[in-house]
Amino acid sequence: MPTIDQTRILIIATDGFEQSELFEPRDQLIGARAAVELASPEKKPIQGMKHDEKGATITPDLTLDDVRIEDYDGLILPGGVANPDTLRTNGKAVDLVRAFVRSGKPVAAICHGPWLLVEADVVSGRTVTSWPSIRTDLSNAGAKVVDQEVAIDGNLITSRKPADIPAFVSAFRKAVTEGVTAAA
């Protein structure tokens, strides 16, 4: 298995991402020397949020159309309300999420990020967690929903909120470098 400094990680986000859920995992992975790229529908700065206040912006490295799944070892889906709500109506984003999950590569979604997993139809029979307001959506899509800081089921890693980021990043790093097969 690769060490973290031999991995390439993709983050998919758009306007309205929760700032801590994109920047903290990204910064921790870059600090560990992983190559991390951000993809969005367009290659223009996207707006982060600190809960309901505007935060920092970041310019994507590439567009969703430029993503080649074989170039990456894992995928991160940050939350925020508007970010995943917008992306789940983007066919390319949904197709990429579905393809990453089906590839067996680690896919980590936090807070509202699991909405994309619902839209990609990849949660049925899987154990996941999320922000409380989307747990009904996950359950209706056939997932077993738990309330814990990180849920790992095969290659899916999910967390509830920004306070869970340390456990979220730790589980993702382990999955990328050691593989994932554990159930929550």
Type of residue numbered 96: L
In degrees, to the nearest 5, what angle opens at C-alpha 22 toward C-alphas 16 and 162? 90
Cα torsion through 11, 92, 67, 154, rounded to 10: 60
Of all residues in the chain, what percent carry a pLDDT higher than 90? 92
Residue with tokens 């056939």: 142
Per-residue model confidence (pLDDT) at position 180? 64
Q: For residue 5, name the pLDDT band (cuts at 50, 70, 90).
A: confident
The class of domain 4-178 in CATH terms is alpha beta
- Catalytic residue chosen out of the listed positions 111, 150, 171, 175: 111
Lookup result for tokens 């996941």: 128
Pair 49, 33: CB distance under 8 Å: no
Calculate what percentage of the chain has a pLDDT beyond 70: 97
Q: What is the pLDDT of residue 26?
A: 98
Pure H helices in the chain: 19-31, 82-87, 91-103, 114-119, 135-140, 165-178
Q: What is the mean pLDDT of residues 94-102?
A: 97
Please choose, from the candidates 115, 106, 113, 111, the residue with its C-alpha nearest in 3D space to the C-alpha of residue 131: 111
Residue 80 annotated as catalytic = no
Catalytic residue among 112, 160, 161, 173: 112
pLDDT of residue 3: 84
Return the amino acid letter for 172. Answer: F
Rounded alpha-carbon distances, angstroms, from residue 98 to 33, 87, 117, 154, 178: 27, 13, 8, 14, 22
Does 85 participate in catalysis according to the annotation?
Answer: no
Q: Quick one: pLDDT at residue 64?
A: 98
pLDDT digits (tens, 9 = 90+) for 47-82: 999 999 999 999 999 999 999 999 999 999 999 999
Say if residues 33 and 5 touch (Cβ distance below 8 Å).
yes
pLDDT of residue 45: 98
- DSSP letter for 175, please: H
Q: CB count, 10 Å around CB of 93?
A: 25
- Position 88 pLDDT exceeds 90: yes
Averaged pLDDT, 18-31: 97
Residue spans per domain, the chain? 4-178
Listed residue (114, 12, 1, 108) closest to 60, CA to CA: 12
Residue 148 has pLDDT above 80, yes or no: yes
Q: How confident is the model at residue 4 (pLDDT cuts 50, 70, 90)?
A: confident
